[in-house]
Amino acid sequence: MGEVNLSDAFNNGANPYYLHQSDNPGMILLTQPLGSDNYHSWRHAMMMALSTKNKLGFVDGSIPAPARILADRFNAWTRAND
């Protein structure tokens, strides 16, 4: 993936660094305990959810962490990746 433009990260929902007001650490993604019997349906649901929110790249590694010396980029990546 090429370099991501941070200037529109707060306004452009297509930007992977964009965080919608509903994106928060308290969001419930699982309604039942994860087990071997429901892993495949859980994985499918998680992949769809992350893809829909344009965050799959943070999980599959296609949006790598920038160098820490690029503080603004690293901080934006960390905020969107957490």
Could you read off the pLDDT of 38-54 as tens digits, one per residue?
A: 899 888 888 888 888 88
1 pLDDT above the threshold of 60: no
Cβ 56 vs Cβ 50: under 8 Å: yes
**Which pTM was predicted?**
0.64
pLDDT of residue 2: 52
Could you read off the pLDDT of 26-38 as tens digits, one per residue?
A: 777 767 788 889 8
**Percentage of residues of the chain with pLDDT beyond 90:** 2
Cβ 34 vs Cβ 42: under 8 Å: yes
Token pair 């919608």 is found at 20
Token pair 């969107």 is found at 80
Mean pLDDT of the chain: 77
DSSP state of 4: P
